[in-house]
Amino acid sequence: MGIFDYAPAPESRAIANLKPHYRPFIGGEFVDGSGEPLKTVNPATEEVLAEVNTASTADVDTAVKAARRAYDRVWSKMPGSERAKYLFRIARLIQERSRELAVLESLDNGKPIKESRDSDVPTAAAHFFYHAGWADKLDYAGLGPNPKPLGVAGQIIPWNFPLLMLAWKIAPALATGNTVVLKPAETTPLTALVFAEICQQAELPPGVVNILPGAGDIGASLVEHADVNKIAFTGSTDVGKLIQRQVAGTAKKLTLELGGKAANVVFEDAPLDQAVEGIVNGIFFNQGHVCCAGSRLLAQESIVDELLAKLRHRVSTLRMGDPLDKNTDIGAINSAEQLAKIKGLVESGESEGAQRWTSPCPVPDKGFFFAPTVFSDVHQSMRIAREEIFGPVLSVLTFRTPDEAVTKANNTPYGLSAGIWTEKGSRILWMANQLRAGVVWANTFNRFDPTAPFGGYQESGFGREGGRTGLEAYLDV
Amino acid sequence: MTATTATSPQTSAAETPLPPALQDATRDDASLRRFLRGLPGVDQVGVEQRAAGLATRSIKKAAKLWAIDTAISMVDLTTLEGADTHGKVRALAAKAKRPDPDRPDTPQVAAVCVYPDLAATAVEALEGTGINVASVATGFPSGRTSLDIKLADVKIAVDAGAAEVDMVIDRGAFLEGRYGQVFDEIKAIKAACGPAHLKVILETGELATYDNVRRASWLALLAGGDFIKTSTGKVSPAATLPVTHVMLQAVHDWHAQTGELRGVKPAGGIRTTKDAVRYLVAVHEVAGEQWLTPHLFRFGASSLLNDLLLQRRTQADGHYSGPDYVTVD
């Protein structure tokens, strides 16, 4: 124990306004789904939070019909300036209920409250504000005259940023005049169902937004449904490939935002202390459950020892524990399944000869936790350098020259994001042009803004979300 | 060196020979310049983001009480006005001894900080209390005078019995790139201090960039400063969290390279308990736990103490009491 032990400072879980039962949201009403009910679990304690009634294939059809009706009768005919009013209203309601949403998100997902409070929920609101502004200006988005919505959008989102990914999907779809059937992830359905309440509060016309909790089979039947015009998916590359096969040969438009194995490249002239911050933020933000996480650190050989010493000191100050504690930096891994996957890859790193260092921070007895881990002496041929771990595990590789840095950074089937750390502006511009990644951060990492398009190359998917470019994915242009 | 006591900083500048890389740095003016300019840069956005992030730590209950008492014990209770009188200094000394007369368990402050001509009065008033007298010197606050005068100023302070000397660096020379001159001056003043501990005021508000703060921090550490101090309190901005982060990182790195512990003192503009706790969190997480002692961290402040006392009472009593319940000196 240290001399300055921070007393527990937990956010009250009562704020989450947790209910024992949650139900699907179809046609503006909460209805009984006919699927098998699922129990959603708090990954920090393994206790059941609530029972969630799920949708069946028949419910998918009902929801798509509701969305179609809302599209034909109301939403596609409504002037953009009127649609904008609903989006502004939703954005304000997210802000009003931000504490409730933040606590509920941390309970259901396991992420630290400081992240759900300071990042997820405010950014979700920002996406609605931003897209509300576009709703009546689509003619001027540079996508051609009078761009038309596509119709009904089927959207499937992952468990790592449940509310934020919902906002990334729903805000542009509604702004451009589409209606939505969204399936939240099986392990994190709660904030999406509170969002459904917000749609009711905002008096959004029934059927414009439908939310169907369920497992992968519900996602599959949504993808297969004949009356869906657009599929937007964020999740694993494997499922993304399945979806692409399913929609092949149909008229459905598709955008995929999949995995990543981002390189965070640190040159010897980098601002080292801030690079350490960026590395930590890049891989330990949200327990590393981030598709654009900076999971491969590429450090110039001349500074690797100094950088690693600084990094280990910094990582050992990260506080792991109760996600609701305001001082927690690292929360719980979202599920036992994900924890097992992380452990498996970490074992492969050890058996393949990489040097493992794990933070000496205390690990809670209950719940799914994995202490921040840094592997050095990692080589391109190892699994931990190639496969997405999706956990708080960093692989450190080295390079000698800028060309080698580019080659190694690009040597991955993925291409979602990358980071460059150097005080030399010309090198930043040169590198950014060479890197095959949808987002390139310079002297920072994991910064998100609704105005900036986000998306990948190769196995990281296609299509962009956010910004003017992101509108195109929901418009017939 | 004398054994460390509860009241004298345990730092021991330039006691053991520096590692070769650092010895090289001080060989001549050109080496010093190369060394300082070769330090890694500080990214402004990054350090400010980190400081703002750490400032969201929520310090409650027992941790808050500990932080308040620790912060009180780290205060350099300061009066540096043209209007300072012997009476004012004696009143401040009395406050330093018994910050909260109703609560005798309240810790004493670390030191009382005054101008050199009043150091003798402070020494007399604090004799036998364990509270140090710190005297500013070297043509404080601007330092725009000759080295002879600065040394004479230090002599006044040391002869009066000041245990700590707070000097200012020549910011003009630093900004002109004459690092060697700044270095030599600090060395000369350190020598003139004798056993008194030297705090080197960088006046970060005039250095303007974080890169300069980092260079000036290393320059002062290389020249033998026991503490690096942000500001005189006469220039705005005075102490800020990100500037203090950069300086805490410097003493951390200095320790990693030399094994020596040097201190940091933010001064000016820290008025509330909330601010002070944020600084302690930064000390804890940027420099490290071993810096959480008055030997290695101080607050240069005057009004901060009363807010700490009010918050201390609030923690104990469960309700706020007004400003009339603490003494105004």
- Kindly tell me if the per-residue pLDDT of B11 is higher than 50: no
Spell out the residues 6+ positions from residue B112 whose beta carbon is closer than 8 angstroms to its own: B76, B77, B78, B89, B92, B93, B96, B122, B126, B131, B132, B133, B134
Query: How close A432 comes to chain B (CA, Å)?
Result: 19
Q: CA distances (Å), B190 to each of B139, B187, B297, in order? A: 15, 5, 19
- Kindly tell me if the per-residue pLDDT of B12 is higher than 70: no
Structure confidence at residue B2 (pLDDT): 34
- Kindly tell me if the per-residue pLDDT of B7 is higher than 80: no
Query: How close B280 comes to chain A (CA, Å)?
Result: 9
The lowest-confidence range among A95-109, A120-134, A403-417, B15-29 is: B15-29
| B132-136: strand order across its sheet | B263-265, B227-229, B197-201, B164-168, B132-136, B111-114, B75-78, B299-301
| A48-52: strand order across its sheet | A21-22, A48-52, A38-41
Residues 39-58 of B with CB under 8 A from A: 40-43, 45-47, 49-50, 56-58
Backbone dihedral angles phi then psi of residue A175, each to the nearest 5 degrees: -60, -35
User: Inter-chain contact B50–A274, Cβ cutoff 8 Å?
Assistant: yes
Q: Hey, what domains does chain B have and what are their CATH numbers?
A: 20-319 (3.20.20.70)
Structure confidence at residue A2 (pLDDT): 85
User: Inter-chain contact B285–A317, Cβ cutoff 8 Å?
Assistant: yes
Q: Return d(Cα A94, Cα A167) in angstroms, integer.
A: 10
User: Inter-chain contact A274–B66, Cβ cutoff 8 Å?
Assistant: no
- Kindly tell me if the per-residue pLDDT of B5 is higher than 90: no
Chain A contact set for B39 (CB, 8 A): none
Spell out the residues 6+ positions from residue A62 whose beta carbon is closer than 8 angstroms to its own: A26, A27
- pLDDT (tens digit, 9 = 90+) per residue, A323-363? 999 999 999 999 999 999 999 999 999 999 999 999 999 99
Task: Report the amino acid identity of residue A12.
Answer: S
User: Inter-chain contact A7–B292, Cβ cutoff 8 Å?
Assistant: no
Average confidence (pLDDT) over B67-96: 98
Chain B contact set for A326 (CB, 8 A): 56-58
Q: Return d(Cα A324, Cα A113) in angstroms, integer.
A: 5
- Residues of A noted as catalytic: 257
Chain A contact set for B60 (CB, 8 A): 6-9
Cβ of B1 under 8 Å from any chain A Cβ? no
C-alpha B36, offset from chain centre: 22
Write out the two tokens for A42: 């708090």
Query: How close B61 comes to chain A (CA, Å)?
Result: 6
Q: If pLDDT is split at 50, 70 and 90, which confidence band does B4 have?
A: very low
Structure confidence at residue A1 (pLDDT): 59
Chain B contact set for A9 (CB, 8 A): 58-60
Query: How close B137 comes to chain A (CA, Å)?
Result: 33
Task: Report the amino acid identity of residue A459.
Answer: E
Closest partner residue to A7 (CB to CB) among B47, B60, B289 is B60
User: Inter-chain contact B42–A274, Cβ cutoff 8 Å?
Assistant: yes
Mean pLDDT (chain A, rounded): 97
Q: Return d(Cα B40, Cα A20) in angstroms, integer.
A: 54
Chain A contact set for B249 (CB, 8 A): 273
User: Inter-chain contact A274–B289, Cβ cutoff 8 Å?
Assistant: no
ipTM of this predicted complex?
0.94
Average confidence (pLDDT) over A314-321: 97
- Residues of B noted as catalytic: 166, 229, 265
Neighbours of B148 (CB within 10 A): 8
- pLDDT (tens digit, 9 = 90+) per residue, B126-177? 999 999 999 999 999 999 999 999 999 999 999 999 999 999 999 999 999 9
**Residue A333 burial by Cβ neighbours in a 10 Å radius (0-12, 13-18, 19+):** buried
Chain A contact set for B284 (CB, 8 A): 2, 4
Question: Minimal CA–CA distance to B190: which of B26, B326, B19?
Answer: B26
Closest partner residue to B63 (CB to CB) among A4, A317, A423 is A4
User: Inter-chain contact A7–B57, Cβ cutoff 8 Å?
Assistant: no
Chain A contact set for B254 (CB, 8 A): none
Residues 265-304 of B with CB under 8 A from A: 280, 284-285, 289, 292
Query: How close B157 comes to chain A (CA, Å)?
Result: 35
User: Inter-chain contact A273–B62, Cβ cutoff 8 Å?
Assistant: no
Closest CA in chain B for residue A271: B41
Q: Return d(Cα A234, Cα A166) in angstroms, integer.
A: 10
Say if residue A362 is preceded by a cis peptide, omega within 30 of 0. no
Chain A contact set for B66 (CB, 8 A): 3-4
- B56-67 CB burial, b ≥16 within 10 A, e <16: ebbbbeebbbbb
- Kindly tell me if the per-residue pLDDT of A166 is higher than 90: yes
B113: β partners: B78, B134
The helix/strand/coil state of B123 is helix
Helices (H) and strands (E) in chain A, counts: 16, 20
Closest partner residue to A272 (CB to CB) among B40, B60, B66 is B40
The helix/strand/coil state of A157 is coil
- pLDDT (tens digit, 9 = 90+) per residue, B268-324? 999 999 999 999 999 999 999 999 999 999 999 999 999 999 999 999 899 998 889
Contacts 24+ apart (CB under 8 A), B170-175: B170/B143, B171/B143, B171/B203, B171/B206, B171/B207, B172/B144, B174/B207, B174/B212, B174/B216, B174/B219, B175/B206, B175/B207, B175/B212
In percent, the amount of chain B with pLDDT more than 90 equals 91
- pLDDT (tens digit, 9 = 90+) per residue, A418-442? 999 999 999 999 999 999 999 999 9
Average confidence (pLDDT) over A191-204: 98
Radius of gyration of chain A (CA): 22
A461: β partners: A257
Q: If pLDDT is split at 50, 70 and 90, which confidence band does B56 have?
A: very high
The enclosing H or E element of A213 equals: none
Q: How is B49-80 classified by DSSP, letter by letter?
A: HHHHHHTT----HHHHHHHHHHHHHTEEEE--
Closest CA in chain B for residue A273: B42
Q: Return d(Cα A169, Cα A158) in angstroms, integer.
A: 11
Chain A contact set for B280 (CB, 8 A): 4
Q: How is B2-64 classified by DSSP, letter by letter?
A: PPP-SSS----TT-SPPPHHHHHHTSSHHHHHHHHHHSPP--HHHHHHHHHHHTT----HHHH
Closest CA in chain B for residue A280: B50
Residue reference for tokens 């690079």:
A275
Structure confidence at residue B15 (pLDDT): 58
Query: How close A14 comes to chain B (CA, Å)?
Result: 19
Average confidence (pLDDT) over A368-396: 97
Write out the two tokens for A7: 């007393």
Judge contact between B253 and B247, C-beta under 8 A: no
Chain B contact set for A327 (CB, 8 A): 57-58
User: Inter-chain contact A326–B56, Cβ cutoff 8 Å?
Assistant: yes
Radius of gyration of chain B (CA): 19
Q: If pLDDT is split at 50, 70 and 90, which confidence band does B194 have?
A: very high
Write out the two tokens for B161: 């019995």
Task: Report the amino acid identity of residue A326.
Answer: K
Write out the two tokens for A428: 């930043």
Q: Return d(Cα B199, Cα A149) in angstroms, integer.
A: 67
Q: Return d(Cα B321, Cα B325) in angstroms, integer.
A: 7
Backbone dihedral angles phi then psi of residue A323, each to the nearest 5 degrees: -60, -25
User: Inter-chain contact B61–A272, Cβ cutoff 8 Å?
Assistant: no
Question: Minimal CA–CA distance to B31: which of B17, B41, B44, B20?
Answer: B20
The helix/strand/coil state of B165 is strand
Task: Report the amino acid identity of residue A254.
Answer: L
Query: How close B136 comes to chain A (CA, Å)?
Result: 31
Q: CA distances (Å), A65 to each of A205, A206, A273, in order? A: 14, 12, 55
- Kindly tell me if the per-residue pLDDT of B17 is higher than 90: no
B76: β partners: B111, B300
Output the CA torsion sign for A171, A173, A178, A181: negative
C-alpha A173, offset from chain centre: 17
| A25-26: strand order across its sheet | A29-30, A25-26, A209-211, A179-183, A152-156, A230-234, A253-257, A461-462
User: Inter-chain contact B50–A443, Cβ cutoff 8 Å?
Assistant: no
Backbone dihedral angles phi then psi of residue A50, each to the nearest 5 degrees: -165, 160
Closest partner residue to A4 (CB to CB) among B42, B61, B66 is B66
Closest partner residue to B46 (CB to CB) among A317, A326, A443 is A443
Question: Minimal CA–CA distance to A329: which of A373, A287, A282?
Answer: A287
Interface of A with B (CB under 8 A): 2-9, 114, 118, 269-274, 277-278, 309, 317, 326-327, 423, 443-444
The helix/strand/coil state of B133 is strand
Closest CA in chain A for residue B250: A273
